[in-house]
Amino acid sequence: MQRLRGLLGLGGGSSGGPDAVPHRKRSTDMEEAVSELAALVPNGAVSSARVRTPRTAPGARIGATTADAPAGGPVTLLTLSVTGMHCSACSSAVEAALRALPGVLTAEVALLSESATVRLDGAATSPEQAVEAIEACGFEARIVSSSREDGGGGGSSRGVETLRMDVRGMHCSACSSAVEAALQLVPGVHSAAVSLTVQQAEVRYAAVAGGKAFEQSLVDAAEGCGFEATVIGRAESCHQLLQVEGMTCSACSSGVEAALRAVPGVHEAAVSLLSGVAEVQYDPEVTGPRHLVDAVEDIGFGASPLSGQRLDFVDNNRRETAVWWRQFRAASLLTLPVFLIAMVFPHVSCMRGMYRWMLGGFPVDQIAKCLLTTPVQYGIGWRFHRGAYMALRSGRANMDVLVSMGTNASYIYSLISMLHHHIMRHHINGAYKPTDFFETAAMLITLVLFGKYLESAAKGKTSEAITKLCQLAPPTALLLELDPKTGTVQREREVPTELVHRGDVLKVLPGARIPTDGEVLDGTSYVDESMLTGESAPVHKAAGDAVIGGTVNMGGALRIRASRVGADTALSQIVRLVENAQLSKAPIQAFADRVSAVFVPIVAALALLTWLLWYLAGTLHWYPPTWLPQGHNTFLFALLFGIAVLVIACPCALGLATPTAVMVGTGVAAAHGILIKGGDALERACKVRTVVFDKTGTLTAGKPHVVDIRVLHEGLAVPDVLALAAAVEAHSEHPIASAILGLLGRQQQLAAATPKAAEAHGGPDSKGLANGYANASGGSGSDSFSANGSGGGRFMPRLLQVRDVEVTVGQGISGWVQLRGPEAAALAALESSSSGLSSVGSDGSEARAALLAIQAAAAAGISPCPAGERSSPASAGTSPAGLQRGDSRAALASLLTTAAGSVAAAGSAAGSAKMAAPAQEVRVIVGNARQMEAAGVAVPPAAEAYMRDQEGRGSTCVLVAVHQTLVGVIAVMDPIKPEARGVVAALHQMGMHCVLLTGDNWRTARAIGDQLGIRTINAEVLPAGKADKVQELQAASRHAVAMVGDGVNDSPALAQADLGIAVGSGTDVAIEAADYVLMRSDLEDLLMAMDLSRTTFNRIKWNYLWALGYNCLMIPVAAGVFYPVMRKQLPPWIAGACMAFSSVSVVCSSLLLRRYRRPKPVLRDMLIISH
């Protein structure tokens, strides 16, 4: 879980035909993943040239790449809030307007969250111009955030970076000024700031000038002034917005800017007097929001941090819902009397006399309806007319056009009819027939407002899950101020969570929520993480364990150190990821966009055609006069049909079908510990028919432990082989390395606690090994130890020194191990310990002699002594008969003498150099069979037989060689996750084809596959080759291919696959490359992810079916197709009500996803029996 705080990145969306090959992701995603992997692996072991460009569906829109970036000028990432959009035609219009601006690289608009994300060239277009372009389309827009991307989005320049230096010896401002001036003279430096207080310097420089030579030039410049200087590292930059109160003029804003820039660690500060917002770039290692607020308050102004969580659409939705309600309430107060006058009072006997009253030659009822309808039509309903005008002006049509046309037709016809009867004096000569219908215009506006209110309220519920996540973080935190010298607590005070800095020490009381991500310094407790991970059981936390902000402390008090704050916390990252998922459109939404683009013009044409046909039918007497209602003529009769067609059609339902379902679905998934990075990923998940599994850490627990050790050289024992392997594996982060180091650490820890324990097992070959080994085979594995010392046991074993370590990805590791020195002496001194090099003699002389003999023999070209076998006590093997200590010692001494003589006889300088190396160190190679083959190490038949036996049981065999002689084999087993078998079986029942893809050997892979019921296996695949295998599966399948993995070496395959699924316990690189993130390591979440994806996508299809079915059915009804049979005309105001409730029904349909229940749990620890 601690790795989840690195969640970053989103996949791009594209669309393709329904019968096309499933959507493929951008090639740049995979190339970036390979670059990340290559950066983490030394010696260029991974080459991005091996990764081919993934396929793309026909017509797919490829996301912007680095080639799209401008050659010069900064690239600005702009986030905008856009209000007033009702359907996909609106969002498409905003996107088109933004993309039409010069310098805009990408523009994505989310209809539901009412936001837009724009990447633009700051030199060509300003953020204000982007706002103006949106407002020109008839929508309101404001800037939420604006940040600069280094390097222009991947152009030739990488931008400006900041380096921090430690400068010691400064005593006054003259010293700091001298250092500052010297640093600014270094070529490539943009600016330099030196803090006398913290004795540090910050240098901003052109990134192209960076490098070791540049850093050394900075150190030389500072030391040239007489001070000691060292480079700390590249400074991280954080962005913070502050709301500043009390500024009245430019002098105030300038003073605030100066105060902020004077804070140590602040890189940039800009203050806007108009908005009262200060934007600050700072180094989180030096300062934080609390210091920034204090600096502003110290000069007499108020300041508070603006929230870093971009959930503006939630607040916008609340405001919009309140506006719709106020407008509906006002319209109702005016429309209700109109409705009574037009529909109710004529049927009430005591009110009929009112219709004979005249005022100024007009009937009183007409005057009342006109006066009451006018403010509804052109006051409250003005937003529809303005929206229609702006839409038509920009060359598009939306719902506002339909509402405006329908209500204006009703109102204007009624007004003309009223004036016509007055001019023709029909009221006097008795020829008056009531032909106005002001009530239609008023009721249309009112009912549409009511529908929009319901729609807005329902849309607000779609974000309910993510809103609850935002509310998990407590508003305040208990800050402990420590004495910098003694570390004792000086003061405890409550501060807002937004003002917590990285590195602050916080106190978390029992029952309280943890305010931010951090590490436990003191105390033990159980923490409820169910609201973030879905893990129902509380998790035990102790010193050194990571905690997540927003989780609940269930037990004792904890003291934690904040590691990530603000927008960097896991909670904020999850919220941002779910919010940004709205920007990634599902390909199916392209259908709605295409339909919406032509929907309104088609409906307007149908309405005109309906009116024309009914008018001609009446004029040509195609229907009897009895069809005309009382008081209607053929024109009005036809007009009512046309207006009904206009107002009953609903484009909003189409536009809301996908985003509402995606919002609810991703929110439900997040509540269950599954993060989905967009609607496009959701759709691809529904097309998956092949699931590729990585083995280590995905299907297995990722906590391997040593189960057996076989020694293959008579001069060595089990502890010697273990010590050699551990010394080299200490430089690896592979889980197998942790298993080997864990065993050695436990042996040494046990030996230190019980000095006589080793001797109790009798025999020098296994001193202290039995206890430590038995502990390892008991399943604890690496639970109590990790290679970097961060494991649960916190015990770092004593290791031999190693130099010139070389890592071969997917094969192994090698290095020169020093046999003499302080570490080797310390190991030999532990006579009772089986730590290594002490199995023969109290000082390990025979083991050292054996190793040096192997090395010397290799240097001289002489074959070493015949290999024997020696096993750990847990194995069935024993030392070969006839092998005696004296014989071994004599043979080794003879071999060493012969080798030394041969080298001396060579008499060359090269030979002397080779002889010097074996005198102190040996080259140790640890890895698989391919590593041995590449190093020229022969694997004897006895070792092959042993490996076949162990690998057939599912163990992985690690070979240990000294120079070109194999000296031992270590069998390591990673237990299969208890739910893995059930999950694979469930996937088979869902029609999925499961594939095992691993870098392990074939025998181990087949054994694991047999246990899990996986028939298709790809073994011995290098990390870069995993992407090639996934691509082969894609080429052979008409459906999408999913890849499930957790490691850095899985990231190219995760990016290559149509759907990348990262296990939450995995690495940041894997999580970044994936489309789905399972926050827990439980594979049952994979079943839920696939099931929820299918359920959500089915709901999207149902929404589209309802939206299209509604329009296809109701437009003919409104056009009067059934009038000859039913003799019932659909009143326009009822048609408007149908239109309003159609979009509400789509949103309510999406809300049904909140009732989703995860699939039934699978059987755990089940046994697969193969026939």
Residues with catalytic roles: 694
Helices (H), 754-802: 769-775
CA 652 from centre of chain: 30
What is the C-alpha separation between 1114 and 1111, in angstroms, rounded? 5
Strands 921-927 and 115-121: unpaired
543 and 555 Cβ atoms separated by less than 8 Å:
no
Phi-psi region of 544 (alpha: psi -120 to 50; beta: other; left: phi over 0): left
The pair phi, psi for residue 237, each rounded to 5°, is -115, 130
89 and 600 Cβ atoms separated by less than 8 Å:
yes
Q: Which of 580, 735, 795, 739 is nearest to 1066 (CA)?
A: 735
What is the C-alpha separation between 900 and 879, in angstroms, rounded? 29
Radius of gyration over alpha carbons of the chain, in Å? 38
How far the first Cα of the chain sits from its last, in Å, is: 39
Is 44 strand, coil or helix? helix
What is the C-alpha separation between 515 and 503, in angstroms, rounded? 13
Q: Which of 1030, 1021, 1026, 1065 is nearest to 1047 (CA)?
A: 1065
CA 431 from centre of chain: 73
Q: What is the DSSP letter of 1020?
A: S
868-903 residues labelled b (16+ CB within 10 A) or e (exposed): bbbbbbbbeeeeeeeeeeeebbebbeebbeebbebb
570-589 residues labelled b (16+ CB within 10 A) or e (exposed): bbbbbbbbbbbbbbbbbbbb
What is the C-alpha separation between 877 and 709, in angstroms, rounded? 10
CA 156 from centre of chain: 27
Q: Can you name the residues that pair with 970 across neighbouring β-strands?
A: 709, 958
Is 175 strand, coil or helix? helix
- Residues 6 or more apart from 261 whose CB is under 8 A from it? 268, 269
Q: Can you name the residues that pair with 234 across neighbouring β-strands?
A: 163
What is the C-alpha separation between 670 and 1064, in angstroms, rounded? 13
Q: How many residues does the chain have?
A: 1171
1052 and 53 Cβ atoms separated by less than 8 Å:
no
DSSP per residue, 484-499: TTT--EEEEEEEEGGG
> Looking at this protein, which amino acid is placed at residue 103?
G
Q: Retrieve residue 93's tokens.
A: 């219009």
What is the C-alpha separation between 336 and 376, in angstroms, rounded? 11
236 and 284 Cβ atoms separated by less than 8 Å:
yes
Q: Which of 747, 835, 752, 824 is nearest to 785 (CA)?
A: 747
What is the C-alpha separation between 665 and 338, in angstroms, rounded? 43
Q: Retrieve residue 719's tokens.
A: 């502890």
Q: Which of 196, 199, 197, 234 is nearest to 214 (CA)?
A: 234
704 and 610 Cβ atoms separated by less than 8 Å:
no
Helices (H), 1020-1067: 1023-1036, 1051-1056
- Residues 6 or more apart from 251 whose CB is under 8 A from it? none
Q: Which of 386, 378, 460 is nearest to 84 (CA)?
A: 386
